[in-house]
Amino acid sequence: MLRLENVEVIYDDVILVLKGLSLQVPSGRIVALLGPNGAGKSTTLKAISGLLEAEEGEVTDGAIEFEGQRIEDLPPEKIVRRGIFQVMEGRRVFEDLTVDENITMGGFTRHDRAELQRDREMCFNYFPRLRDLRGRLAGYLSGGEQQMLAISRALMARPKLILLDEPSLGLSPLLVQEIFAIIGRINREEKSTFLLVEQNANLALSIAHFGYIMEGGHIVLEGEPEKLKSNEDVKEFYLSGGGKKSYKAIKSYRRRKRWLS
């Protein structure tokens, strides 16, 4: 469904952040994108959604293909209309809009009133807590509630692909469990495809169907969750949380060439 091929992203005309990144997200799947701080995970998502535009970033090389069509030059509002919706890192709810108004904004690109109403109910079914907070200003919600709202906003757009950037950020372990369980449910019940960026590798791999690990602007490892989880290096760096060395320093690491067709 989504294919990134040797994508290169440069900020402010000089800062090279993505250095030939390639990955694929098949329809109906949850794909996890893992990696340390500064690896370029958020940049990857923004390259896909077009939001780089607002940060003086630019895709300077490679291709981003969604459902067989190139999208790297489209403005973000067109990309949303194609069916890709990004839930940005740090939740980013409209703080001075109410919960209801935030949800309305999620469905901004749609005009089918009755369906929108039904989807609003669907959001409240996934996140019952939001129902009682409907009239509340989003800025006054707790972090967890804001994350639920951010995901609800995405659901309202009925996207084919949801780009989810660190949904666990700053939330208590219990709440993170709850939110991940709901992401899994949304994937199964609504058939939504997810590209999930996470620091919490264990958790992400527990719901993902496939995983990529990136470092320094490109993918260094990829595979089924089971394979990644049992990989000694992954265990050492991402699952135990005590990583010191870089992948590049590991002998067993071998960069595979991809799509050199």
Partner 1 sequence: MDFFLQLTINGLVVGSIYALVALGFVIIYKSSGVLNFAQGEFLLIGAYFFLAILENARVPLLVALGLTVVSATLLGLLMERLVLRPMIGEPIISVIMVTLGLSSILRAIVQGIWGTDTHPFPALFESSPIQIGPLPVSRGYLFSVVSSAVLLLAFTLFFRFARVGVAMRATAFSQQVALSMGISVKHIFAISWSIAAVVSALGGVLLGALRGGVDGSLAVIGMKALPVVILGGLDSIGGAILGGLIIGVLENLSGGYLDPYFGGGVKEVAPFVVLVLILMVKPYGLFGKVRIERV
CA distances from 74 to 64, 82, 89 (A): 10, 10, 22
Contacting ligand ATP (CB under 6 A), which of 42, 49, 147, 193? 42
Token pair in block for residue 244: 């010191």
**Whole-number minimum distance, CB 27 to partner 1, in Å?**
21
Closer to partner 1 by CB, 162 or 203: give it. Answer: 162
Closer to partner 1 by CB, 17 or 93: give it. Answer: 93
Question: Is position 77 an interface residue for partner 1 (rule: CB under 8 A)?
Answer: yes
The pattern of x and - marking residues 46 through 65 that bind ligand ATP according to CB under 6 A reads: ---------x-x--------
Contacting partner 1 (CB under 8 A), which of 22, 42, 44, 49? 49
92 touches, from Mg ion, ligand ATP, partner 1, none (C-beta below 5 to 8 Å by class): partner 1
CA 61, CA 72: separation in Å to the nearest integer?
10
Residue 53, C-beta contacts closer than 8 angstroms, at least 6 positions apart: 75, 76
The pattern of x and - marking residues 150 through 189 that bind partner 1 according to CB under 8 A reads: ---x---x--------------------------------
Tokens 């981003």 correspond to 64
Question: Is position 13 an interface residue for ligand ATP (rule: CB under 6 A)?
Answer: no
Q: Element (H or E) spanning 225, and its range?
A: helix 225-230
Question: With CB under 6 A, what is the number of residues at the site for ligand ATP?
Answer: 16
C-alpha dihedral (63, 65, 69, 72), degrees to nearest 10? -50
Sole window of 31-39, 64-72, 182-190, 236-244 interacting with ligand ATP (rule: CB under 6 A): 31-39
CA 47, CA 89: separation in Å to the nearest integer?
14
| CB neighbours of residue 122 within 10 Å | 17
Tokens 């309202």 correspond to 156
Query: Which SS3 state, helix, strand or coil, does residue 119 take?
Result: helix
Closer to partner 1 by CB, 119 or 215: give it. Answer: 119
CA 194, CA 208: separation in Å to the nearest integer?
9
Contacting ligand ATP (CB under 6 A), which of 39, 79, 183, 221? 39
CA 73, CA 66: separation in Å to the nearest integer?
12
Question: Is position 42 an interface residue for Mg ion (rule: CB under 5 A)?
Answer: yes
Sole window of 34-42, 65-73, 118-126, 208-216 interacting with Mg ion (rule: CB under 5 A): 34-42
Q: Are 193 and 216 in contact (CB under 8 A)?
A: no
181 touches, from Mg ion, partner 1, ligand ATP, none (C-beta below 5 to 8 Å by class): none
Question: Is position 164 an interface residue for ligand ATP (rule: CB under 6 A)?
Answer: no
Question: With CB under 8 A, what is the number of residues at the site for partner 1?
Answer: 31
